[in-house]
Amino acid sequence: MGSTGQHGSEGVGRRDLIKRTAALGLVAAPGMGLLSACASSGGDGQDKAKAGKKTEKNPLGVNDTAKLDFVLFDGGFGKEYAEDAVKLYEKAFPKAQVKFSATQKIQSTLQPRFNQGNPPDLIDNSGAEQMDMGVLVGKKQLADLTPLLDAPSYDDPSKKVRDTLRPGIVEMGQFDGDPVWILNYAYTVYGVWYSQKALDGLDEKYPETWDDMLKVCAKAKKKGIAGWTYAGKYPYYLPFSLYPMIAKVGGREVLDAIDNLEPNAWKHPAVKACFEAYYELFQKGYILRGTPGLDHIQSQTAWAKGKALFIPNGSWVENESANVIPADFDLAVSAPSGLDGSDKLPFGTIWASGGEPFVVPAKAANPEGGMEQLRVMLSEASSRNFTSKVKSLSALNGGIDGIELTPGLKAGVAALDKAGDNVVNPRIPDWYVQLEKEKIGVGGLGEMMAGRLTPAETVKKIQGFADEAAKDTSIKHYKHR
C-alpha cells in the first residue's frame, strides 16, 4: 500500500493503522500479491448454522446455540474492548460457544481459511497484514451488512442501527453502489491541531479566514514560534486540513470530482486558491525550519514542544504524542481556516471518517452471529468502554456520556458538533492509496511546501498523476454515485 511499509516506527503506528484500515485495497502492499492470486471462492465451504427465530430481543435471528468465531486485529487499540463486547454476546446467548482470538497477522492467518471456505464469522481486517478489501469485495467474499444496518439499534429499538452511526460510516463501507461490505468501528477527526494555551499567549483566537491565519503566524514569528509544521517525509498528512479547506472554498462537489478522477478536477479555482494559500506559508517563512526532513513523530514532537503553533493531523495524535505533550498544553483541534466570506461552506467544515474495518465473510458459518456481535459493539455501553480505554471515538454517534474525555477527544467532539452536516469524507486516500500517498503527497504537495514547485506547477503535476491513474486499467476505479 504505497509508502506505508517504509517507515520503521510508523509500521503499525496508530496513524498508519487508521489510514490503512480504511484502505480499500487498490494497491497491494508487499506480500499481498498472493492474495489476489488465491482469493477464489475455493473449498466447498462450511455448513451454515441454521438461523434462529427473529424476536424483539434477537432481531437478526441468531441461532442461540451456534458457535461464534471472531478474529480481531491486535494493534494500537488492543483487544480488551472487544473481549468486553464478547462477554455481552455470551450473556445474551449463554448456550453459544464463542471463540475469540487476536493476531497481528490477519492475512497469513485467515487467507488459507478463506481459500478453504471456512472463514471466521467476524473479522477486524486491519494492520500491516490487512487483506485487500478490493479483492474480497470483487470476489464476492464478504457478506452485505445491510441486515445489521436495518436492524433495531441495541439501546433504542425505535431506531435502526444505521441511524445511530456517525457521518460517513455507512458510505465508507460501500464500493460502487448500495451493498455495505465494511463497518469501520473507530472514528477519526482530522484537522488543524494546536495548543489553546499557545494561542492565548499570543492573545489570538483560531483564525477563520486566511488573512487572519497569516496575521497569527506573523505574530508568532515575532516571538520566535513557527506558524506551521507537518510530517515533511510523509506529506500526505497535509490533506487532513487541505482537502476540507478545498471543500469549504469550492463546495464538496470539488472533492467528489477529485475522487472520481475527473479530467481537470485539480484545476478547479478552489484547488488553485487553497494551494496558493498554503504556499504563502512557505513564502513568508511561517513553516518551521527543516520541516520537509521531519517524519510524523519528529514534527509532532517539535509542535508539542511549542516550536510551531499548528499541525495538520488526525485525532490519534493525542495518544501518539502523549509522552511529549505537556500537561498544561490544552490540546485543541479546529476545522481548517477558509479563504474569505465567499467560501461555499461555513467555517467548521471538517474531515472526519471511520477506521478499523470489521467484515463478516460471505461463507461464515454464523453470519447472523457476526452481525449481532457488531450490533452489541455499537451499543452505548460498548462504545463508551472503547472510548474510555483507547482514547478514540467509535462509529456510534454517542457513547461518550458519563466518561471523562481527554482534551483531544473533547476538542474533537466540539469540532464535530460545530461542523454539523458539514463533515466531508474524501475517498481518494482509500480508493487510490498509491496515488494519494506517493504522487499527490510526496510528489506534489511535499514538493510545493518545500518551495520546489509553484502552486500552478503542482496543480499541473497532480492533475497528470490523476489522469494516469484514471487510464490505468490494472486498478479498479470507483465513483461517487
Tell how strand 68-73 and strand 122-124 pair up. Answer: parallel
What is the spatial distance between Cα 176 and Cα 167, in angstroms, rounded to a whole number?
A: 18
Give me the residues of the chain with pLDDT under 70, please.
1-45
C-alpha cell at 59: 432481531
Task: Please say whether the beta carbons of 49 and 364 come within 8 A.
Answer: no
Phi-psi label, residue 127: left if phi above 0, alpha if psi -120 to 50, beta otherwise: left
Record: fold of 2-188+354-409: D-Maltodextrin-Binding Protein; domain 2 (3.40.190)
What is the spatial distance between Cα 459 and Cα 359, in angstroms, rounded to a whole number?
A: 37
| Helix (H), strand (E) at residue 99 | strand 98-103
Position 25 scores a pLDDT of: 32
How many residues can be counted in the chain? 481
Task: Please say whether the beta carbons of 311 and 230 come within 8 A.
Answer: yes
Neighbours of 452 (CB within 10 A): 12
User: What amino acid occupies position 210?
Assistant: W
What is the spatial distance between Cα 475 and Cα 2, in angstroms, rounded to a whole number?
A: 13
What is the spatial distance between Cα 99 and Cα 81, in angstroms, rounded to a whole number?
A: 16
Task: Please say whether the beta carbons of 146 and 180 come within 8 A.
Answer: yes
In the block, cell 485495497 appears at 25
C-alpha cell at 165: 452511526
CATH: 3.90.1300.10, 3.40.50.800, 3.40.190.10, 2.40.50.140. Which one for 190-351+428-471? 3.40.190.10
3-state secondary structure of 388: helix
Position 468 scores a pLDDT of: 97
Phi-psi label, residue 466: left if phi above 0, alpha if psi -120 to 50, beta otherwise: alpha
C-alpha cell at 265: 478536477
Cα angle: 379, vertex 77, 35; to 5 degrees: 100
**Partners of 180 in the β-ladder:** 174
3-state secondary structure of 26: coil
Taking each helix axis as running N to C, give the angle between helix 380-390 and helix 367-377, from 0 to 180 degrees, rounded to the nearest 10: 70
What is the spatial distance between Cα 350 and Cα 472, in angstroms, rounded to a whole number?
A: 31
Domain extent listing, the chain: 2-188+354-409, 190-351+428-471
What is the spatial distance between Cα 384 and Cα 386, in angstroms, rounded to a whole number?
A: 5
What is the spatial distance between Cα 394 and Cα 18, in angstroms, rounded to a whole number?
A: 12
What is the spatial distance between Cα 141 and Cα 151, in angstroms, rounded to a whole number?
A: 22
User: What amino acid occupies position 381?
Assistant: A
What is the spatial distance between Cα 324 and Cα 110, in angstroms, rounded to a whole number?
A: 37
Terminal CA-CA length for the chain: 25
What is the spatial distance between Cα 378 and Cα 21, in angstroms, rounded to a whole number?
A: 18
Position 64 scores a pLDDT of: 94
What is the spatial distance between Cα 243 and Cα 237, in angstroms, rounded to a whole number?
A: 10
In the block, cell 514542544 appears at 305
Of 35, 23, 67, 74, give the one whose Cα is nearest residue 49. Answer: 67
